[in-house]
Structure 1
Amino acid sequence: MSFINDQEIILTESELRSIIGYPSEIVQQKSISHLDEHCRDYIAKSPFLFISTSNASGKCDVSPRGDAAGFVHVVDDHYLVIPERRGNKRMDSLCNILSNPEVGLIFLIPGLGETLRVNGRAFITKDSELLKSMAVNQIIPTVGIVVAVEECFLHCAKAFKRSGLWELETRIEKEKLPSASKILSAHIKLEGITSEVIAANLEEGYAKRLY
């Protein structure tokens, strides 16, 4: 990286702490090891989460999951289940979990700046009895991600306030938004796979293959 001065790269936590400092006692004490009633309430009202995973060699991935609020099933204080809906079958998160069970989750509630972070160890289940309660339109998920919760804490709203994510005035006009079909066409580079073809495929998938 020719644009980076090697002498300015931080290599140790002690150097980093000397610049950033240490968390307050309140921050240090906010983490709990189970899903209490407040975490359960947050998850019940959340329609969206991000799941971070990595494989055995440390290659990382972050993937979104979303459905109607409360789509994540809380089994008890220590376990939750994320239904795996229909996707493109890359299965990045699932394959990573098979080689490295450590996962991180961030739950969001639209309009709320504070997010709920949950860390733990995951495994994949095909237990139809467990997954039956998460059916939509009578379609039972084929598999689900079970997370054994190890850490939970609330993350402050500073990122949302700085970004104005939930503010209407920060939204880009629809016609100026990036075009998913044009981006995919440019990246795929296959003969006949035009942005128009991709746009049609996307619309069909959204209409017929959500579940």
Structure 2
Amino acid sequence: MQNTPDPIRNEVELRQHIAAYPSILDQRIQTRLDDLCLEFIHASQLIMGFYQAQDQADFFILPTDQLMIQSPEQLQLSAVSLPSASVSLIFLIAGVDHVLRINGQLTESGRLHIQQSYFHCGRAAMRARLWQPETVSATITPADFIHRARYALLASFGADGKVLISPRGEQAGQIQLLADGKLLLPERPGNKVAASLRNLLTDPRIRLALIIPGCERVLCVQGMARISAAAEKRQQAAVDNRPAKLVIEIADVRTHWLNNSALDATFWQLSEQPVSGLTPFAKALATHMKGKGMMGKLTHLVVDRVVKKDANNLY
């Protein structure tokens, strides 16, 4: 691996640390809701989202009973009242590691025109042990919350004006608030698309929604990001002596508690009642890439092996 400048300035330097992703992954992106997406939506209990509308940008968390499916191309979010906004949503099923992501454009009436829908692997939830909740005091401080946070949504801003959220999972203490006020977020192995990192290279604004499994509160963080490949920083975030792939340094950190959150004790309790009959992630991903025919079935065999290998190599 070549020595790269610090911070990383462009995708060429980024790809010295994160290899190019296989182009077949682009085929996983759907422009409408198929039966696999609808199956996941109907089984989900919670929507975590981020929006950007003019000079406004923030997270929101809704129960899925606030959503109506108007058509394969449109959703209605009845509880959201915003000006026209770029929106990125993640649908969660309690007890299930992988998620469904939907990106689109929201109208003032709350109608979401779908631009992309695709499944996201469950490694973030696995690293976070998302379905092993803990008890948290109602008086916890933001600094202590950051230290104990194990799951996060990372929101970034694309050059095309669209927003994107991506899940991140860590052991407690790995999201670090330093003495100088900067926050360090490790970058672990993923699908190599690195969409959020590529966004941060062109627009360093970053938002995080931090979650402690079992806690009803959500801490939002905003600041300016830079991506570091410095060996000492990557080693500082090592797990089992495996350094982070990269480290996102966040300066000008500001925090606030999320007010419009439907994350409550009921959701965490649902994880004790696993959903049955849900199409496994590997099969859903393979179907989206190669369909339900023979090519899809052959792709499923390959994807299933990769998913199982990834689950045993989280760091």
Q: Which TM bucket (shorter chain)?
A: 0.7 to 0.9
1:169: Cα distance to partner?
A: 7.2
Cα 1:169–1:71 shift into 2, 3 Å: closer
Higher helix share: 1
Cα 1:133–1:150 shift into 2, 3 Å: closer
**How well do the aligned residues superpose, as a CA RMSD in angstroms?**
2.9
Give the SS at the match of 1:203.
helix
Cα 1:93–1:109 shift into 2, 3 Å: same
Cα 1:171–1:78 shift into 2, 3 Å: same
1:193: Cα distance to partner?
A: 3.8
Distance 1:111 1:119 in 2: 23
How does 1:1-211 map onto structure 2 within 5 Å?
A: 38-76=141-179, 78-156=181-259, 158-161=261-264, 164-168=266-270, 171-173=273-275, 175-189=276-290, 191=295, 193-207=298-312, 209-211=313-315
Distance 2:180 2:255 in 1: 11
User: Rg bigger for which structure?
Assistant: 1
1:114: Cα distance to partner?
A: 0.7
Higher strand share: 2
One-letter amino acid of the structure 2 residue matched with residue 203 of structure 1: K
One-letter amino acid of the structure 1 residue matched with residue 281 of structure 2: A
Q: Deviations over 1:37-64 (max 9, x none)?
A: 9211001111111100012221221111
Q: Deviations over 1:64-106 (max 9, x none)?
A: 1112111112113531111111111101111000000111100
Return 51-60 or 100-109, whichever deviates more.
51-60
1:177: Cα distance to partner?
A: 2.8
Cα 1:204–1:116 shift into 2, 3 Å: same
Contact 2:183 2:253 in 1 (8 A): no
Distance 1:82 1:180 in 2: 26
Report runs of 4+ in structure 1 exceeding 2 Å deviation: 1-4, 9-12, 168-173, 175-178, 190-197
Gaps of 5+ in 1: 17-36
Cα 1:110–1:157 shift into 2, 3 Å: farther
Distance 2:183 2:83 in 1: 36
Cα 1:95–1:177 shift into 2, 3 Å: same
Return 79-88 or 142-151, whichever deviates more.
142-151
Contact 1:128 1:142 in 2 (8 A): no
Gaps of 5+ in 2: 1-69, 76-80, 85-107, 109-139
Cα 1:193–1:60 shift into 2, 3 Å: farther
TM-score (norm: length of structure 2): 0.51
1:172: Cα distance to partner?
A: 3.9
Contact 2:182 2:253 in 1 (8 A): no
Give the SS at the match of 2:268.
coil
Cα 1:178–1:69 shift into 2, 3 Å: farther
- The share of aligned pairs that are identical, in percent, is 28
Distance 1:129 1:54 in 2: 28
Aligned residue pair count: 181
